């Protein structure tokens, strides 16, 4: 087996095939390396667990990323350099031929399009060349497809539909360009980021907390829409508000709230949103002309209540000029979706209680019991970390991990210079889940 150029540091000694075969550790199935299969991981990094309470419900999409190494680390930079060499080799050999997309493929099928799918999975290292053959979509292909989907941020269903075909048919040249662009981005964070810090990777829509160079927790996130993008920035967590009210931003009043009130005059009452005039007095919705922009002259404030308040049970305030922050959400269903570009720029955090535990851990006043009591109280209570915590909102669409896994995400905001994201378009149209 011909070896690629040696990757420095933690990925040294991995040849091209071994680097690609690291994807076997992304999801359970035929294990091709010694890396732990994700399906065997009972918890997330740092023992993060699911909770029955509504402020912690949601899917665990971060299981697509299994490494103790932060995305902003020298180990990730070195692994990404190795991934670039892998794709330089693929491009030098002619790149990928597009897979035929005429037939949706899944476990148990026999179809002529399964063979080119097998060939691609073998080429990318997601499938061993020594298992199965031919036109049958067997359990080996199913496991390999799930591995491929997981490292592309897709729900690992094993079904090859529009989303997965879009990922497969993104050219090797585009993938190489993504890796090169993102290596430059990663290198800009190669300094001292802090002993404790938080990273939000916007294209991957997840949050990770980092302590002493290791990931403590990971959280699925909802981030900004294409037309209301989450900003790339460096900031600091200042404080936490339990059971916050929500003041509707002016942009949302005009773009969303006024049209909603035109359609449903009871919308504000149903959402427990009050209208406050400039004198601080509450006025009734019937006093506002909703067929004009009059509403933009008022403040709209939603009562606290995690089951309906747009901020959920918790708001995390970060100092920044963009007016954005992090928060819980009553709409937990978004955390089970592949397409999580749903906010007006703020970041919604899954399993928010674990996140708050970590933020306040070094403040002796805020034990787990105190945090739980504050959440249950229904009252507005504020808490501060012992020291402000650095926060990095970054835009990384392609990177390698020291375990040998090459991760890709769609260029949702179009910042890689590689053209529109085909996977994003497919995600908008549906998903690759098995039909009911």
- pLDDT tens figures, 344-399: 999 999 999 999 999 999 999 999 999 999 999 999 999 999 999 999 999 999 99
Out of 22-31, 117-126, 158-167, 305-314, pick the least confident: 22-31
Angle between helices 114-124 and 139-150 (to 10 degrees): 50
C-beta atoms surrounding 117 within 10 Å: 24
Average pLDDT over residues 153-158: 95
Q: Which two tokens stand for residue 415?
A: 């910042």
Confidence at residue 380, expressed as pLDDT on a 0 to 100 scale = 95
Sign of the torsion formed by the C-alpha atoms of 78, 81, 83 and 86: negative
- 193-245+306-394, CATH topology level: L,D-transpeptidase catalytic domain-like (2.40.440)
Sign of the torsion formed by the C-alpha atoms of 36, 38, 41 and 43: positive
Confidence at residue 61, expressed as pLDDT on a 0 to 100 scale = 54
Confidence at residue 349, expressed as pLDDT on a 0 to 100 scale = 98
433: confidence class by pLDDT, cuts 50, 70, 90: low
SS3 58: coil
- Whose tokens are 């090797």? That residue is 172
- 9-40+73-182+398-429, CATH topology level: Muramoyl-pentapeptide Carboxypeptidase; domain 1 (1.10.101)
C-alpha 46/C-alpha 27 separation (Å) is: 19
Percent of the chain clearing pLDDT 70 (strictly above): 81
Out of 55-59, 283-287, 313-317, pick the least confident: 55-59
Confidence at residue 36, expressed as pLDDT on a 0 to 100 scale = 28
pLDDT of residue 40 exceeding 50, the answer is: no
Mean pLDDT, the chain, as a whole number? Answer: 85
Confidence at residue 418, expressed as pLDDT on a 0 to 100 scale = 81
Confidence at residue 167, expressed as pLDDT on a 0 to 100 scale = 95
Tell me the sheet residues that pair with 224.
Answer: 343
CA 4, chain centre distance (Å): 31
């Amino acid at each position: 087996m011909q070896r690629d150029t040696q990757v420095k540091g933690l990925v040294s000694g991995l040849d091209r095939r071994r680097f690609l075969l690291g994807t076997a550790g992304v999801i359970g199935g035929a294990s091709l390396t010694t890396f732990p299969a994700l399906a065997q991981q009972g918890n997330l990094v740092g023992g993060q667990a699911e909770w029955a309470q509504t402020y912690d419900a949601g899917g665990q999409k971060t299981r697509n990323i299994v490494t103790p190494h932060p995305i902003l680390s020298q180990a990730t930079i070195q692994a990404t350099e190795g991934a670039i060499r892998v794709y330089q080799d693929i491009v030098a050999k002619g790149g990928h031929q597009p897979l035929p997309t005429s037939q949706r493929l899944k476990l148990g099928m026999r179809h002529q399009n399964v063979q080119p799918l097998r060939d691609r999975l073998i080429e990318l290292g997601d499938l061993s060349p020594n298992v199965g053959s031919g036109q049958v979509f067997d359990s080996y292909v199913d496991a390999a497809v799930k591995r491929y989907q997981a490292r592309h941020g897709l729900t690992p269903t094993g079904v090859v539909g529009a989303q997965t075909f879009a990922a497969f048919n993104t050219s090797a040249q585009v993938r190489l360009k993504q890796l090169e662009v993102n290596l430059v981005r990663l290198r800009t964070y190669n300094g001292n980021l802090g002993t404790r810090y938080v990273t939000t990777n916007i294209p991957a829509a997840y949050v990770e907390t980092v302590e002493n160079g290791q990931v403590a927790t990971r959280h699925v996130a909802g981030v900004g829409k294409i037309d209301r993008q989450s900003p790339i920035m460096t900031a600091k967590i200042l404080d936490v508000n339990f059971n916050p009210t929500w003041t509707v931003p002016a942009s949302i009043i005009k773009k969303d709230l006024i049209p909603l009130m035109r359609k449903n005059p009871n919308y504000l009452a149903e959402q427990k949103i009050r209208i406050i005039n400039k004198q601080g007095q509450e006025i009734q919705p019937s006093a506002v002309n909703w067929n004009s922009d009059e509403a933009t002259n008022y403040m709209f404030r939603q009562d606290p209540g995690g089951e309906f308040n747009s901020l959920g049970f918790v708001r995390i305030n970060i100092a920044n000029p963009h007016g954005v922050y992090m928060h819980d959400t009553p709409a937990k269903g978004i955390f089970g979706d592949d397409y999580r570009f749903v906010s007006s720029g703020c970041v919604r955090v899954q399993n928010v209680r674990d996140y708050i535990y970590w933020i306040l851990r070094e403040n002796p006043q805020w034990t787990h019991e105190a945090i739980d009591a504050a959440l249950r109280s229904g009252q507005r209570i504020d808490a501060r970390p012992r020291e402000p915590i650095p926060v990095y909102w970054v835009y990384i669409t392609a990177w390698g991990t020291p375990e040998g896994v090459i991760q890709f995400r769609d260029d949702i905001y179009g910042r890689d210079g590689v053209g529109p994201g085909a996977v994003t378009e497919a995600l908008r149209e549906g998903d690759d889940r098995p039909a009911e």
